[in-house]
């Protein structure tokens, strides 16, 4: 195999495209050209545009050049799927796998990892490049409120010599993000941006019950369909509800499903409920399901043997389970028991699963009104039909207004056709920093030497305002500090470097530095770090016995207390 960029690109086209009778999309050709040229690149395109092919191009190039490559995903289920898929493409001996508690073939040149594994390697093995090429799949997770810091800090700490390929759903103003990456890594970052879907997507809002929608989709042939719910328990609730419909499978399909179930399912446990659902033509998919069952559901759906898959958002995160139709029984989800509407980005990520380029001329995304609204509208329209004249639109408007008021009174949220229209028209969200500076982050990433010129200049010795300390520095010391700042972040990675390079404005960075000063004071106060900022191993366990130690640990990590309070 040739090793020049042109020869590598040609060999890839022959193996993964032309050899399989596939013609690349123009956006794929643009991305492949950047990847084989060795450029770092952000690819932001709609769901179903073949981002996985672009990832394989980077891995193909790395393997041919004798380099190491890392492919990260946000979810364990997606990591497992990509591991299997890449093993088939590049040979099992060339592909390794790692999640938080499971590792396979870690010496292989291609590693498929949950994103946190890469972050751990970057912060734990400073000055060591984890790979020659890093592919970050589902890069829009940068905006995840709880986990977005993993993507942001991995970009900051990654060796600038590493080729970085970020694959994402569409995001707002991606050129701003690329500019930040360039400033942070001191390397060019190309952009491939497209909003064009290969299969048009139709959005509908229906005032009907899920059972009626499912019956209609089955009879019209708009299957397979994914029904998105926002909780594992709801998966079983909806699936059981669909069992009230007539079989969605023929006798032949049912027999084939039975054979595959015999091979994959255990005779007891959850399989006793899962098997009848599958033979009925209904699958369930969420992160808590055993991998062997999820793989069975994915295989049956791809073979079009099951017609409906009730799923949480895991499928939306790139798992290979495209459908003709997507159904939203609700647009409200609960985060830590608090209700909120799905965002436009979340909606489009899930709705984008509808429409398969090889099968469909369109995709269909259906949102259903709340069940109580549907029931109330039917009752009101039935009563209104007995009157000589009535205004159907006015009746519906009154029902939705009452539903909103009732939901607000109960601390809940009701969604309406107007809310749905806003989500459909919503623009992709910009990628924004989600990093929060906590004691856990400080200890994981590390502090600079608190006795150094740099620490004194920033005022993180616990002595107050940086401006009060800075005048003490000599001109030579200032030049030394400036020279250090000019180095790429990966060469001086600590929590201060992270804050200095976050995707934030100067004011927000200064606020985070104030938080850091406070945390450093607290950590020193209870003896977790010494005066130089180095962690003192075991102090809390040795000196704070029993519940006292646990209480202090909880307080430190969950509350911002003053120095005196902690002492």
Query: What DSSP assignment string belongs to 56-74?
Result: HHHHHHHHHTT--EEEEES
- Whether residues 219 and 87 share a domain: the answer is no
Tell me, what's the pLDDT at 322? 75
pLDDT confidence of 102, banded at 50, 70, 90?
confident
**Mean pLDDT, to the nearest integer, of 503-518?**
93
Nearest CA to 88 out of 121, 52, 114, 116 is that of 52
Whether 109 has a pLDDT exceeding 50, the answer reads yes
- Strand arrangement of the beta sheet that strand 189-193 belongs to: 103-104, 95-98, 110-114, 69-73, 133-136, 163-168, 40-44, 189-193
With cut-offs at 50, 70 and 90, classify the pLDDT of residue 302: confident
Could you tell me if residue 417 is inside a domain?
no
Residues 184 and 218 placed together within one structural domain of the fold: no
Q: Are residues 126 and 224 in the same domain?
A: no
Are 175 and 61 found together in one domain? yes
Q: Which range has highest mean pLDDT (49-53, 338-342, 388-392)?
A: 338-342
> Using one digit for the tens of pLDDT, what is the confidence trace for 316-336?
665 677 789 999 999 999 888
377 lies in a domain?
no
Lowest mean pLDDT among 64-73, 430-439, 525-534: 525-534
User: Are residues 155 and 167 in contact, defined by beta-carbon separation less than 8 angstroms?
Assistant: no
Specify whether the CB–CB gap between 320 and 264 falls below 8 A: no
Q: What share of the chain is helix, strand, coil (3-state, %, to 5)?
A: 50, 15, 35
Mean pLDDT score, 246-269: 87
**Confidence at 136, pLDDT banded by 50, 70, 90:** very high
Which CATH number is 327's domain given?
Answer: 3.40.50.300
Q: What are 410-433's pLDDT values in tens digits?
A: 999 999 999 999 999 998 889 999
What does residue 547 show for φ and ψ, rounded to 5 degrees? -65, -25
Tens-digit pLDDT profile for residues 485-494: 678 899 889 9
The mean predicted confidence, pLDDT, of the chain is 87
76, 103 Cβ separation under 8 angstroms: no
**134 and 165 in contact (C-beta within 8 Å)?**
yes
User: For residue 552, how far is the Cα from the chain centroid?
Assistant: 33
Higher pLDDT, 548 or 479: 479
Across residues 442-452, what is the average pLDDT? 86
Mean pLDDT of 342-370: 90
Q: Which of 176, 247, 191, 185 is nearest to 214 (CA)?
A: 247
pLDDT of residue 468: 41
- Given the DSSP bridges, would you call strands 363-368 and 325-328 parallel, antiparallel or unpaired? parallel
pLDDT for 530: 87
With a cut of 90, say whether residue 533 has pLDDT above it. Answer: no
pLDDT value of residue 316: 60
Shared domain for 353 and 249, answered yes or no, is yes
Q: Which of 140, 159, 193 is the last residue of a domain?
A: 193
Among candidates 122, 130, 120, 187, which has minimal Cα distance to 157?
Answer: 122
551: containing domain: 439-565
Q: In angstroms, what is the C-alpha Rg of the chain? A: 27
Residues 531 and 557 in one domain: yes
Q: 348-362, 391-405, 453-467, 489-503 — which is least confidently predicted?
A: 453-467
Greatest Cα-to-Cα distance within the chain, rounded to the nearest angstrom: 91
Note the pLDDT tens digit of each residue in 213-236. Answer: 999 999 999 999 999 999 888 899
Share of the chain above pLDDT 90, in %: 58
Which uninterrupted H or E stretch holds 87?
Answer: helix 76-90
Asked if residue 142 belongs to a domain, the reply is yes
pTM of the model: 0.84
Instruction: Assess if residue 401 is contained within a domain.
Output: no
Residue 528 has pLDDT above 90, yes or no: no
Note the pLDDT tens digit of each residue in 5-46: 899 999 999 999 999 988 898 999 999 999 999 999 999 998
Both 162 and 13 in one domain: the answer is yes
Rounded-to-integer distance, Cα 83 and Cα 113, Å: 9
Residue 323 and residue 336: Cα distance in Å, rounded? Answer: 30
Q: Is the pLDDT of residue 483 over 50?
A: yes
Residues 130 and 112 in one domain: yes
Domain boundary among 368, 392, 409: 368
The answer to whether residue 288 is domain-embedded is yes
* 424 is a domain residue: no
Residues 143 and 266 in one domain: no
Closest by CA to 55, choosing from 82, 37, 80, 81, is 82
* 86 has a pLDDT exceeding 90: yes
**pLDDT band at residue 476 using 50, 70 and 90 as cut-offs:** low
Residue 421 lies inside a defined structural domain of this protein = no
Clarify whether residues 224 and 271 are in a common domain: yes
- 416 found inside a domain: no
What gap in Å lies between CA 484 and CA 475, rounded to an integer?
Answer: 14
- Percent of the chain at pLDDT above 70? 87
Cβ atoms within 10 Å, residue 505: 10
Residues 343, 473, single domain; the answer is: no
Of 220-229, 337-346, 461-470, which gets the smallest average pLDDT? 461-470
Domain count, the chain: 3
224 and 347 together in one domain: yes
Q: Which residue has the higher pLDDT, 89 or 318?
A: 89
Final residue before a domain boundary, out of 325, 344, 368: 368
- For residues 248-256, give the mean pLDDT: 94
């Amino acid at each position: 195999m040739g090793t020049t960029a042109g020869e590598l690109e040609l060999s890839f086209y022959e193996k993964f495209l032309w050899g399989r009778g596939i013609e690349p999309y123009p956006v794929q050709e643009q991305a492949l050209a950047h990847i084989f040229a060795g450029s770092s690149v952000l690819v932001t395109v709609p769901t179903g545009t073949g981002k996985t092919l672009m990832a394989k191009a980077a891995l193909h190039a790395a393997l041919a050049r004798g380099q190491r490559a890392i492919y990260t995903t946000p979810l364990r289920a997606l990591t497992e799927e990509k591991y299997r898929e890449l093993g088939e493409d590049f040979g099992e001996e060339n592909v390794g796998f790692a999640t938080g508690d499971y590792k396979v073939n870690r010496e292989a040149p291609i590693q498929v990892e949950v994103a946190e594994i890469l972050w751990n390697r970057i912060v734990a093995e400073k000055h060591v490049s984890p790979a020659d090429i890093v592919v970050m799949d589902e890069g829009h997770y940068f905006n995840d409120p709880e986990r977005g810091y993993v993507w942001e800090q991995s970009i900051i700490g990654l060796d600038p010599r590493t080729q970085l390929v970020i694959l994402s759903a569409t995001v707002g103003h991606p050129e701003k993000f690329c500019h930040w990456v360039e400033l942070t890594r001191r390397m060019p970052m190309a952009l491939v941006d497209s909003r064009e879907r290969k299969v048009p997507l139709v959005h509908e809002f229906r005032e009907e019950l899920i059972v009626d929608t499912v019956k209609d989709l089955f009879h019209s042939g708009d299957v397979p369909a994914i029904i998105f719910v926002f909780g594992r328990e709801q998966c079983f609730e909806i699936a059981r509800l669909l069992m009230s419909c007539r079989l969605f499978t023929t006798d032949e399909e049912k027999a084939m499903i039975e054979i595959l179930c015999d091979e994959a399912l255990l005779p007891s446990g959850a399989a006793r409920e899962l098997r009848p659902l599958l033979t009925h033509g209904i699958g369930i998919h969420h992160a808590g399901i055993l991998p062997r069952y999820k793989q069975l559901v994915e295989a049956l759906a791809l073979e079009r043997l099951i017609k409906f898959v009730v799923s949480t958002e895991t499928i939306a995160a790139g798992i290979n389970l495209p459908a003709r139709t997507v159904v939203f029984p609700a647009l409200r989800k609960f985060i830590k028991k608090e209700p909120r509407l799905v965002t436009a980005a979340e909606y489009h990520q899930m709705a984008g699963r509808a429409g398969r380029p090889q099968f469909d001329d369109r995709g269909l995304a259906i949102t259903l009104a709340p069940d109580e609204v549907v029931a109330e509208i039917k009752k009101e329209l039935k009563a209104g039909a007995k009157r000589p004249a009535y205004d159907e639109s006015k009746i519906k408007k009154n029902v939705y207004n009452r539903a909103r008021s009732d939901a607000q009174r109960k601390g809940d949220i009701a969604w309406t056709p107007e809310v749905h229209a806003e989500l459909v028209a919503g623009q992709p969200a910009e990628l924004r920093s989600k990093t929060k500076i906590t004691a856990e982050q400080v200890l994981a990433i590390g502090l600079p030497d608190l006795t150094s010129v740099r620490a004194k200049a920033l005022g993180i010795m616990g002595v107050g305002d940086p401006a009060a300390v800075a005048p003490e520095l000599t001109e030579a010391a200032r030049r030394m500090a400036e020279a250090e700042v000019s180095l790429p972040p990966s060469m001086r990675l600590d929590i201060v470097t992270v804050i200095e390079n976050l995707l934030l404005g100067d004011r927000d960075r200064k606020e985070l530095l104030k938080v850091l000063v406070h945390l450093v004071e607290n950590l020193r106060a209870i003896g977790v770090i010494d005066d130089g900022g180095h962690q003192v191993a075991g102090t809390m366990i040795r000196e704070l016995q029993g519940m006292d130690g646990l209480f202090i640990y909880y307080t430190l990590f969950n509350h911002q207390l003053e120095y005196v309070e902690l002492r």
